[in-house]
Structure 1
């Protein structure tokens, strides 16, 4: 095939591979698309073009150390399970890849898990027929295939992890880091960075399900290093996404505690302690029962405070207090938002309270479709008290949903 660059110039892909070699990166080379992302796998001319792409790609780049394997973008949909023609198309190209580049890894990244008939034995049977080394399942959270997809995604990935224990295929996750600027699942709508707490919940969920590796669509344009000479993402928000990710990797700020809450119940000093509220809120005891909600407004763990949260916890006796936190839900589509500020107070007698911290909660403006959980954290307090008061201010008159208030979480 004729190159899309001048004959006397080096291939741009060569520059990418040279850089990947230098930084010891692993690159999966693609075999498509033959025409576009709607390639019909049943057409012989599509398969023929894909094989031509593989032959040329291997000839030009297989000598690079970074050429780790192939990504075959022919995986089709898992609705309700992988079709026979998709299995055949994958296996045909997998055979070609092994002929051209023996020993290289072969990966596919199928979609459609949201609406898959995942408990049907046919679902697992089709997976076991595949001649690939890696399946990196798209989590579809960014695509919002359903209004609040996180809960079902985590349940489905847990099932996928169990299925893969009966195969020789590596179980990976391809989590979506984006949300939509305009319409969802509209090719004319730009992809923009999702709120990092949503992304963190995705990473944690698929890791708990047993995913060996977590990759992401997409990185370029979603995460921008703040001092980059050539930023390509959404101004401010792409740099913020990068900084949040790096802070998480380094264990800074609230991220370690928030990540831990995504893994399950947390032991803390206020569990089952007496709690009261001036708001006369029903089920206020849920805030100290250590049961945590998921990213859906119908989860019974969430306590709805309407537009003002005001609670007092009686610890029963004076204790040393180092850390206080509150966990909140954000879902703008149903007028639920993170508080703008969360105020923490302590008292020895339930009469005179001293404010020890006010936490300003950040809420991404990229929230047209997404539901996520975040935490207000006050640490390094170093005081003693019996009573703890928490107040939260509504963001733009939206409802406040809280599922737990933590005192000295472990």
Structure 2
């Protein structure tokens, strides 16, 4: 009897173990499935900007706002504050543009004299220490051997870069924040990456790996707008690289083309396809700036671009599946208005900060703007609901245009007064409405001053429901970008909606969304 009981007990225990194991496997499968779904879901969204360069040297007028000339650029308190602000903005990676310039160092070097006061902490150490407190990751620079125009073909330049690397490794290789190396091999990918640039990057990479095993290496070349992706040698050159990360400059700020963004979307897709066959991470270096005067001119200051332009850059990079988005310049371009140290173009660097943080905090306005960039914003109104002259029905066709004045999806309105009406066919609860407009000063395309929204039950007597100021951003000498005007907080049970505006110049609109919904 006792033996039978033991057999039964053992059997029950065995069954329990099998069931428990099955439940664990099932739970793991569910967890894995959920994880995949989360990854898939995040891939449909827009990646935030999680890294930026730190520039310690005033070099030319381009730094007029980002690193003003007539003050102490080496002040450790300034840089501690800036690192804290960047961390609060979600920045995880800091990349030193340079740790030396014109033969003087920003760290306690034995090779070179110092730029900073010997009685104060060096800016490099101040940034490293503050980054460590906020769990940020630092890419240390290997330059400049001489200045921003270092010639990689010069043996003396190469030798000094290695010497700088050796000093920095000895000083900081065990620092909590030291994550990797930025190799300032910013050669052009035009039409392919030059052999000397590949070898320079590989030489520095091999040295970095020997001095600091496990540390990442990063380069950020330019010229994707001039790249020959169909040339078999293009991928072969990239495949030779031994670096861990390539952060491609997207060149939107540099205005490589008249309309950069449409082609950039295709470019990212081409690069993603190539990187799927390489053992190298693909990062986007999204340019946040535009130019105060001429483009790509050292006598012209870098100033903040309108955030809708930058969001479109983020969307293009995210849609292609880049691994991370970083930016050449945040400090002095996107500035916290509460900062003790106000760098940046007055007013407008704060405006871009507020817009970016509003997007990061998932404000309703930016959710809709983002969805429209992704072509995932539905319209409750349809083309047959548009009243009036032919041609404007396209405002309700659900098709959005790109940042190009020649895109046929733009509906054009000349200078003067305009209005259009929509018959929703039945009484409808209208809660929101949104217009998308092109801003391109070079072609004389801009914003109306104000836009008026009227509603009606019978199509005869209209009531004013809302008035909105159109967005205004003065840094518009070079860029094309898309603005949106959202009529929110509406509570209208109506059949008809009318939009009216006065255009001081051409106005291009691609869609009028009624009760827009994210698909």
TM-score bracket, normalised by the shorter chain, equals over 0.9
Compute the displacement of 1:10 (Å). Answer: 2.8
| Residue in structure 2 matching 1:230, options 341, 354, 367 | 341
What 5-or-longer segments of structure 2 have no aligned partner? 1-110
Residue 156 of structure 1 corresponds to: 267
1:145 matches 2:256: yes
For residues 7-406 of structure 1, the aligned pairs below 5 Å read 7-277=118-388, 280=389, 283-307=391-415, 308-394=417-503, 397-406=504-513
Distance 1:309 1:93 in 2: 61
Following the alignment from structure 1 to structure 2, what is the Cα–Cα distance between the partners of residues 140 and 170?
19
In structure 2, distance between residues paired with 1:62 and 1:392? 61
Shift of 1:120: 2.1
Which residue in the other structure is 1:2 paired with?
A: 112
CA distance in 2, matches of 1:173, 1:258: 21
What TM-score results when the alignment is normalised by the length of structure 1?
0.96
User: Measured at CA, do residues 386 and 8 of structure 1 come closer, stay the same or move farther in structure 2, by a change above 3 Å?
Assistant: closer
Deviations 1:351-390 (A, max 9, x none): 1111211111222101110110011101221222221111
Per-residue deviation, residues 175-208 of structure 1 (Å, max 9, x unmatched): 0001111111111111011111111111111111
1:6 CA drift (Å): 4.5
Q: Compared with structure 1, are the counterparts of its residues 69 and 309 closer, same or farther at alpha carbon in structure 2 (3 Å cutoff)?
A: farther
TM-score when normalising by structure 2: 0.76
Residue 7 of structure 1: how far off its partner (Å): 4.4
Between the aligned partners of 2:329 and 2:279, the Cα distance in structure 1 is 27
2-structure distance, mates of 1:121, 1:407: 48
CA contact (8 A) 2:193 2:237 kept: yes
Instruction: Give the SS at the match of 1:159.
Output: helix
Cα distance between partner residues in 2 of 1:253 and 1:225: 21
Larger-gyration structure (1/2): 2
Per-residue deviation, residues 233-254 of structure 1 (Å, max 9, x unmatched): 1111111111111111112252
Shift of 1:124: 1.7
Deviation for aligned residue 1:283: 2.3
> Which whole-Å CA distance do the structure 1 matches of 2:357 and 2:516 have between them?
23
Secondary structure at the aligned position of 2:378 is classed as coil
Instruction: Return the alpha-carbon distance in structure 1 between the equivalents of residues 391 and 211 of structure 2.
Output: 63
Return closer, same or farther for 1:324/1:393 CA change in 2, 3 Å cut-off.
Answer: same
Decide whether the 8 Å contact of 1:265 with 1:290 is kept in 2.
no
Report the alpha carbon displacement of residue 40 of structure 1 after superposing the two structures with TM: 2.1
Q: Once the two structures are superposed, what CA deviation does each residue of 1:228-275 show, in whole Å capped at 9, x if it has no partner?
A: 111011111111111111111112252111111111142221133321
The answer to whether the 8 A contact 1:343-1:390 is kept is: yes
Deviations 1:298-321 (A, max 9, x none): 001101011243111122222221
* Separation (CA, whole Å) in 1 of partners of 2:447 and 2:224: 29
> Is contact 2:471-2:485 (8 Å) kept?
no
Q: How far apart in 1 are the matches of 2:230 and 2:429?
A: 49
- Give ranges in structure 1 of 5+ residues lacking alignment: none
Aligned residues: 405
- C-alpha distance in 1, partners of 2:456/2:212? 69
Higher helix share: 2
